[in-house]
Amino acid sequence: MADEMCPKCGSPLSEITVTKTGRKLQRCSTGSWDPKTRKNLGCDYVKWFEVEPQELHEKCPKCGNKLILAFTRFGKKMKKCSTGIWDKETKKVIGCDYVEWINGTTQPLDEECPQCGNKLVLFTTVNGKKMKKCSTAGWDKVVRKPTGCPYVYWLKPSEYEQKSDSGGEEFLPPEPQE
């Protein structure tokens, strides 16, 4: 395969890299990310790749077909029905419209809530941010209000076990709109 050229400056493109949220991109070889200034140096051309949906061993609760794991352009994850196709012209879903958003993960902690004495849980958002919250806390979908104990403690990035480095993904130019 011949090296692809940057449409902005004509230099070859560098290797394909994969972001933390599982998205692939290729930068211009004359451009680089400076973690100190948190800015792009040189040419800022970035080519985004479509993320191939991943098939899951789960069945759609609506129609029984396979579910797939899909990503939005902002890296949010969702499970959706493999028969559902987005029609760009009519802006409607063709086929089954089942979608389940994945909102991060919860792990039980062996720590007690300073407010009510119940156990705390560690919640990791889809963006990798972490917070401790009370296991009695919930969300009432009917009244759209939090329920249970309101204790929340956001961890500072320095308190995470592993240093998280997004590689500056959030500072990349937005993907071109179709």
The binding site for Zn ion (CB under 5 A) comprises 6, 8-9, 11, 28, 43, 45, 60, 62-63, 65, 81, 96, 98, 113, 115-116, 118, 134, 149, 151
Q: Which of 51/149 has CB closer to Zn ion?
A: 149
Q: Which of 13/51 has CB closer to Zn ion?
A: 13
Q: Which of 118/127 has CB closer to Zn ion?
A: 118
11: burial class by Cβ within 10 Å (0-12, 13-18, 19+)?
middle
State the Cα–Cα distance between residues 14 and 4, nearest whole angstrom: 9
State the Cα–Cα distance between residues 129 and 122, nearest whole angstrom: 10
Residue 95 is encoded by which pair of tokens? Answer: 């086929």
- Closest distance to Zn ion from the beta carbon of 37 (Å): 19
Q: Which of 23/29 has CB closer to Zn ion?
A: 29
- Closest distance to Zn ion from the beta carbon of 124 (Å): 19
- Closest distance to Zn ion from the beta carbon of 146 (Å): 12
What b/e sequence results for 135-158 when a residue is b if at least 16 CB atoms lie within 10 Å of its CB, and e otherwise?
A: bbbeeeeeeeeeeebebeeeeeee
- Closest distance to Zn ion from the beta carbon of 162 (Å): 27
Length in residues, the chain: 178
